[in-house]
Amino acid sequence: MPHEIDAVLLEDTTFSLDELTRSCQVTREWVIERVQWGLLLNEDLAHADPDSWLFNSRSFMRVKRIVAVERDFECNAELAGLVADMIEEIEHLRAHLKTARLQQD
């Protein structure tokens, strides 16, 4: 029996606070705290009403990453945010290196 799968391309998706919390299985308070600490969103937006916040696919992946680091290493949010920053920088550098190698060939 065939199964239908609904899929959404994350690059084009924006999430409200409630959609992000449901998708990442975290609480509103969890997200709001991390926004206030500067780990998610632009700091300028942190002072706006949380119900007006919009998160993109990068924020979605960052939340998933921070949740995993906090859980796996039993660390605080600031350290998890720093680890997420480092992982994102490594991914960026690897992509840059791959592009440079392709241009050499």
pLDDT digits (tens, 9 = 90+) for 1-46: 566 655 555 567 899 999 999 999 999 999 999 999 999 976 667 6
On whether residue 2 sits in a domain, the answer given is no
- What tens digit of pLDDT does each residue of 39-83 get? 997 666 767 899 999 999 999 999 999 999 999 999 999 999 999
What is the pLDDT, as a whole number, of residue 71?
A: 96
Measured distance CA(25)–CA(3) in Å, rounded: 24
Domain count, the chain: 1
pLDDT band at 103 (very low <50, low <70, confident <90, very high): confident
Instruction: Look at residues 52, 42, 44 and name the one whose alpha carbon lies nearest to residue 16.
Output: 52
Q: Give the range of the structural domain holding residue 58, as residue numbers without chain letter.
A: 10-104
Residue 63: inside a domain: yes
Q: What token pair was written down for 47?
A: 């002072």
The answer to the question of residue 91 being in a domain is yes
Whether 4 maps to a domain, the answer reads no
Residue 3 lies in a domain: no
Residue with the two structure tokens 């009403």:
49
pLDDT recorded at residue 48: 86
65 found inside a domain:
yes
Q: What is the CATH number of the domain that holds 36?
A: 1.10.1660.10
CB contact set of 75 (below 8 Å; sequence gap of 6+): 69, 83
Which pLDDT score is estimated for 13? 85
